[in-house]
Structure 1
């Protein structure tokens, strides 16, 4: 009796979820939409796919080395991909000494230095005995990309006026000129 009350008080969609409608048989005159094959063809394709998965052979060591080298190149070129966004953010932060621009400069120096120091750890999962010579080139490219990122930080601190690049920055080491003549004012 309580079930009867709840079914009357609950919406129709709740009853539909509890007991879904019976599956309608497919009308043969209406074709399946593109990308939605019928269940008969789907089951036969699943069987074919399982046969294909079973027939797949393991990759050879040369193929694995090639794949690892491609992945290593992706890691090596990773720092340069984030460089345009970093440059735009540095440009937009301005040249005045503010907390945001100081944090940007700090991160511009910290990330490349940490990346250079962790070069071997970044590539140890890709390195094998047979591709060690090729990995040296990849590591060299990675370090070069990190140095380009570091140069961006140097550009920013130069724009902020923190690099001593003008003669006035070195006045403490300038020798004071000795005058050739002295002028004395008269009363």
Structure 2
């Protein structure tokens, strides 16, 4: 049997102790603190550490901030439109799983966004912002309709929209038998 040693674990390295302590500013530093940096106040006798009291925003300021944030949410689909257009260009016009998936998402995302319109702006709605959010919601719907229009354009580029005469849809006029057909120069 071996005897257990009763020695204590070694002390932690110096860098561990340095991490646990507050950072200190060198005394002879000529570099100023960055803007917004709040250095630790000097402890004087009897002074307690107190954070400066922040003024509460008024209801009008809060409503203005909520409307600004609502505009950011409303314009987000329009900001994604150029990236979606580049993605549609890069997928090509052939029927492949990747291009079909991309077109599917171009249809699914705006439709679900428009259907979830009340919940998208519920956090911004207060009695003071209710009237101002009508224009924001209209812009949100228009931006999502632009993404939907990009999807319709892509489906047309892929040849899946019945915009021209098409054999596979059976919309083409009845063909004239070759025996009865007259050459165009005889007309």
Q: Which of 110, 113, 135 is 1:112 aligned to? A: 110
> Deviation per CA, 1:21-60, whole angstroms, max 9, x where unpaired?
xxxxx986x3343328xxxx63149x8x9452x2x22211
Offset at residue 2 of structure 1 (A): 7.8
Corresponding residue for residue 101 of structure 2: 103
Native 8 Å contact 2:165 2:172 kept in 1: no
Contact 2:166 2:172 in 1 (8 A): no
Name the residue aligned to 1:150.
148
Q: Secondary structure at the match of 2:41?
A: helix
- Superposed CA offset, 1:112-147 (max 9, x none): 000010011100110112221110100000000000
Q: TM-score, normalised by structure 1?
A: 0.71
More helix by share: 1
After TM superposition, the structure 1 = structure 2 runs for residues 152-171 of structure 1, keeping only pairs within 5 Å, are 152-168=150-166
Q: Does 1:86 align with 2:84?
A: yes
Unmatched tracts of structure 2, length 5 or more: 19-24, 182-187
1:154-177 Cα shifts (integer Å, max 9, x gaps): 111111110111123587345537
Q: Which residue of the partner structure matches residue 121 of structure 2?
A: 123
Write the mapping of 1:66-77 to structure 2, written as runs, cut at 5 A. Answer: 66-77=64-75
Whether the 8 Å CA contact 2:70–2:124 is kept in 1: the answer is yes
The corresponding residue for 1:10 is none
User: For 1:146 and 1:173, how far apart are their aligned partners in 2?
Assistant: 32
Aligned length, in residue pairs: 164
What is the TM-score of this pair, normalised by structure 2?
A: 0.71
Query: Contact between 1:164 and 1:170, CA under 8 Å: does it hold in 2?
Result: no
**Once structures 1 and 2 are overlaid, which stretch shifts more, 162-171 or 119-128?**
162-171
RMSD: 3.6
Structure 1: stretches of 5+ with no match in the other structure: 8-12, 21-25
Alignment partners' CA distance in 1, 2:65 and 2:80: 23
